[in-house]
Amino acid sequence: MMLIKLKAALSLFIAVFLCLQNVTVAESENSKKCITDFDNLRNAYFKSNIEATVIQSVQSHTEPLSLMHMNKGNIDYTTWKSLNDEVVGYSLRQNKGFDFNQNRGFIGPLIWHQSRIWDRFFSKKTVFDDYECGILGRTRLAGRKVTLIRLNPKIENGFVFVVAKDADTSLPVELSVFSQKQNLLAKFTVTAVHYSSSLNVSVPNETFDRIEKMSATGRITEEVWPELNIPNGFKLMRTGVQQGAEHGKDIPYQMYSDGLVDFKVFKNTKGSLNIVSATEGTLSVMRRNSKNFEYAVVGEIPLEMCAQILSNIK
């Protein structure tokens, strides 16, 4: 009787083991197929010459945007324009560029834009070593057959990305950004797209050269502030000072990036905390006081990651 039970238990163990093996193999094949599909998508976008209308959705707010992307001499150019009232936007050459205002003829430093996460996400230069890739399935979106690709962060408190890849053109149809709690933070949906064999670069290369020379930074000599808890994968990219609203006082900051998103940490004299935290789509702000200083994290990261960065500040 005991021998029969042992044989039965052994058979069950072997069956479970083989089942787990099959699941592991299937997951591995899914991951390989996903990485291939994602690489094909980014390569197709890099080589594309398109003009598109993109609906940017952030919480309850939506805004139509004009997107022009082109490849000239294996260099990619991108221009985003708001379709609400006056023409404002920004232009990029290989992910570096400037803001503009067509009505006033203004050209200035590139500031934060919600759509910048789209530019970095589809850039061929962005490395996704800290993300796991998986195919969610196939469906129809905006009248097109698409493959849904999900990128999960391996680090704690990172963004989760779901991108819809056009089955015919391999171009992105939609990009959604979630928190790890599955809250939708921002969504970009392509509603119309026009293809062209060649598009004219609206901004001369001399303008990009001049802006890049003005924004060039020197070598970083400062160490990471030890009181901060910087997430894995993020590196110190820049240090500097920014003029504060109070008496024009300079506030030191450190800027960190993982190549996809970035954030700044400001270190100011201790003040009253009227607003402790706030979010707008993928942008988060959090402030916390120590005994002598006020720290503020501002960047394109989830609010949970802001709390992690300031977790040593008591």
Compute the distance between CA of residue 148 and CA of residue 200 in angstroms, rounded to an integer. Answer: 32
CATH superfamily of 217-309: MucB/RseB, C-terminal domain (3.30.200.100)
**Which contiguous run of DSSP H or E holds residue 21?**
helix 2-47
Is the confidence at residue 25, as pLDDT, over 60?
Answer: no
Q: What is the pLDDT of residue 248?
A: 63
Is the confidence at residue 23, as pLDDT, over 80?
Answer: no
DSSP character string of 44-94: HHHH--EEEEEEEEETTEEEEEEEEEEEETTEEEEEEEE-SSS-EEEEEET
Q: Give the residue, 170 or 105, on which the prediction is more confident.
A: 170
For the domain spanning 34-210, the CATH number is: 2.50.20.10
Is-contact 65 83, C-beta < 8 A? yes
Task: Report the percent of the chain where pLDDT is more than 90.
Answer: 61
Compute the distance between CA of residue 125 and CA of residue 120 in angstroms, rounded to an integer. Answer: 8
Q: What is the pLDDT of residue 142?
A: 80
Work out whether the CA dihedral 210, 211, 214, 220 comes out positive or negative: negative
Q: What is the pLDDT of residue 164?
A: 97
Confidence of residue 174 (pLDDT cuts 50, 70, 90): very high
Confidence of residue 228 (pLDDT cuts 50, 70, 90): very high
Is the confidence at residue 220, as pLDDT, over 80?
Answer: no
Q: What is the pLDDT of residue 102?
A: 77
Q: What is the pLDDT of residue 193?
A: 92
Q: How many Cβ atoms from other residues are within 10 Å of residue 89's Cβ?
A: 19
Confidence of residue 1 (pLDDT cuts 50, 70, 90): low
Hey, where are the domains in the chain? 34-210, 217-309
Is-contact 178 184, C-beta < 8 A? yes
